[in-house]
Amino acid sequence: MKRYLILIVVIASSIKSFSQILPGTLDVTGMPSVSQNIADLVTEAGQDDDTIGFESNFDEALISFALDPTSAPIVGVVATSEQNCSANVYRYSVFMHIQYDAPANVIIEAKTTSNSGFRFPAVSPYDNLIIQPLGPRDLFPENGGNYIEIPNDAGAAIKVMEFVGCRQDIPIQFRIRPSVKARSGNSNFTLVYTVVASIT
């Protein structure tokens, strides 16, 4: 009878730990600075060629996502980000939009490639499961890894990628396609990343 009760307690604890998604932190480093000459945009009087633009280095921006460290106040046990990422594997979708208005007639695009970045931690017990409920801990870009236009509207944020499990140093490449219709001068805008986690 004792074994039966202990088993119930262990199962109940496991269900509780997987019934909520732990909070995490997204770190972003780098963002291209763009300068465009009007001579690159005009091919003939009266014609506007907005297919020529600025393309950043592949790793101009790097993003990393990890679950935050946690502690149990009563027993004083602390779990590191690495331990939490190893024990709690979720699916993460990364959405992007522009805030503070990019210039009119300027198209900003972003992309990454399949399995870019690094798993965190490199090895997890999840990797050895015969059936992995969310699939392998890989990264999957949207649009086949081709550029995706980033909307200038928080209500229309677009998914750029998804990955299973925590991940570090995911490179983001940007392409900016301006037009002679855009106003000259300096412009500043904020690129917003949103991470949505799920257990399915």
Residues 6+ away with beta carbon under 8 Å from 97:
150, 151, 152, 153, 154, 156, 157, 158, 191, 192, 194
Distance CA 112, CA 5 (A): 49
Tell me the pTM: 0.79
Q: Note the pLDDT tens digit of each residue in 34-52.
A: 666 555 555 555 555 555 5
Q: Where are the beta strands (DSSP E) in 31-157?
A: 54-55, 61-67, 70-72, 77-79, 91-99, 107-111, 118-119, 139-141, 148-149
Q: According to the model, what pLDDT value does residue 31 have? A: 74
**DSSP letter string over 138-150?**
-EEEGGGGS-EEP
> For the segment 81-113, what is each residue's pLDDT rounded down to a tens digit?
999 999 999 999 999 998 876 677 778 899 999
